Structure 1
Amino acid sequence: MPEGDTVWLTARNLHRALAGRTLVRSDLRVPRLATVDLTGRAVTEVVPRGKHLLTRVEGGLTLHSHLGMDGSWRIQATGERPRGGPAHQIRAILANSGYTAVGYRLPALDLLRTAEEHTVVGHLGPDLLGPGWDPEEAARRLLAEPARALGEALLDQRNLAGIGNVYKSELCFLLRVSPWLPAGELPDPGRLTALARRLLEANKERFTRITTADPRPEHRLWVYGRAGRPCRRCGTPVRMADQGPGGQERSTYWCPRCQPGPGSGGPDAPGASGPAGGSGRGADPSG
Structure 2
Amino acid sequence: MPEGDTVWLTAHRLHQALSGRPLTITDFRVPALATVDLTGRTVTEVVARGKHVLTRLDDDLTVHSHLRMDGSWYLSKTGGPPPRRHPEHMIRVRLANADWVATGYRVHDLRVVDRAGEADLVGHLGPDLLGPDWDVPTAVANLQRQPETAIGEALLDQRNLAGIGNLYKSEVLFVERLDPWTPAGDVPDLARLVTSAQRLLRLNRDHPEQTTTGYRERGREHWVYGRYREPCLRCRTPIARQMQGVAPQERSTYWCPTCQPGAGPARKNGAADRAGADQASSG
Which range, TM-score by smaller chain?
Answer: over 0.9
Instruction: State the Cα deviation string for residues 104-149 of structure 1 (Å, max 9, x = none).
Output: 1112211111121100010010111111211011011011101001
Which amino acid is the alignment partner of residue 58 of structure 2? E
Which amino acid is the alignment partner of residue 281 of structure 2? G
Aligned residue in 2 for 1:132 = 133
The SS at the match of 1:218 is coil
Aligned residue in 1 for 2:28 = 28
Which amino acid is the alignment partner of residue 74 of structure 1? Y
Instruction: State the Cα deviation string for residues 202-223 of structure 1 (Å, max 9, x = none).
Output: 1110110110011212211000
Describe how 1:202-241 pairs up with structure 2 within 5 A: 202-241=203-242
Q: 1:270 to 1:46 in 2, by over 3 A?
A: farther
Which amino acid is the alignment partner of residue 267 of structure 1? A
Instruction: State the Cα deviation string for residues 26-54 of structure 1 (Å, max 9, x = none).
Output: 11111111111111111111011111110
Aligned residue in 1 for 2:111 = 110
Identity of aligned residues (%): 56
Q: Work out whether residues 231 and 237 of structure 2, in 8 Å CA contact, stay in contact via their aligned partners in 1.
A: yes
Q: Work out whether residues 254 and 264 of structure 1, in 8 Å CA contact, stay in contact via their aligned partners in 2.
A: no
Q: Work out whether residues 256 and 264 of structure 1, in 8 Å CA contact, stay in contact via their aligned partners in 2.
A: no
Offset at 1:81? 2.1
Q: Work out whether residues 240 and 274 of structure 2, in 8 Å CA contact, stay in contact via their aligned partners in 1.
A: no
Aligned residue in 1 for 2:155 = 154
The SS at the match of 1:117 is helix
Distance, in Å, in 1 between the alignment partners of 2:275 and 2:97 is 49
Structure 2 residue 77 is the aligned partner of structure 1 residue 87: no
Offset at 1:279? 4.5
Distance, in Å, in 1 between the alignment partners of 2:259 and 2:125 is 32
Which amino acid is the alignment partner of residue 193 of structure 2? L
Instruction: State the Cα deviation string for residues 138-190 of structure 1 (Å, max 9, x = none).
Output: 01101110100101100000001110000000011111111111000001111
Aligned residue in 2 for 1:57 = 57
Describe how 1:191-270 pairs up with structure 2 within 5 A: 191-263=192-264, 267-269=271-273
The SS at the match of 1:216 is coil
Distance, in Å, in 2 between the alignment partners of 1:103 and 1:43 is 16
Distance, in Å, in 1 between the alignment partners of 2:224 and 2:158 is 22
Instruction: State the Cα deviation string for residues 209-258 of structure 1 (Å, max 9, x = none).
Output: 11001121221100000111111111111111111111111111111111
Distance, in Å, in 2 between the alignment partners of 1:31 and 1:63 is 15
Aligned residue in 1 for 2:182 = 181
Distance, in Å, in 2 between the alignment partners of 1:83 and 1:89 is 11
Structure 2 residue 275 is the aligned partner of structure 1 residue 277: no
The SS at the match of 2:201 is helix
Aligned residue in 2 for 1:169 = 170
The SS at the match of 2:202 is helix
Offset at 1:272? 2.1
How many matched pairs?
Answer: 279
Q: 1:101 to 1:164 in 2, by over 3 A?
A: same
Q: Work out whether residues 6 and 205 of structure 2, in 8 Å CA contact, stay in contact via their aligned partners in 1.
A: yes
Q: Work out whether residues 242 and 265 of structure 2, in 8 Å CA contact, stay in contact via their aligned partners in 1.
A: no
Q: 1:55 to 1:271 in 2, by over 3 A?
A: farther
Offset at 1:57? 1.3
Structure 2 residue 49 is the aligned partner of structure 1 residue 46: no
Distance, in Å, in 2 between the alignment partners of 1:270 and 1:67 is 33
Q: Mark the runs of 5 or more structure 2 residues left unpaired by the alignment.
A: none
Q: Mark the runs of 5 or more structure 1 residues left unpaired by the alignment.
A: 281-287
Which amino acid is the alignment partner of residue 128 of structure 1? L
Q: TM-score, length-normalised on structure 1?
A: 0.93
Distance, in Å, in 1 between the alignment partners of 2:274 and 2:75 is 41
Tell me how large the CA RMSD over aligned residues is.
1.6
Distance, in Å, in 2 between the alignment partners of 1:260 and 1:40 is 58
Q: Work out whether residues 240 and 273 of structure 2, in 8 Å CA contact, stay in contact via their aligned partners in 1.
A: no
Distance, in Å, in 2 between the alignment partners of 1:81 and 1:197 is 35
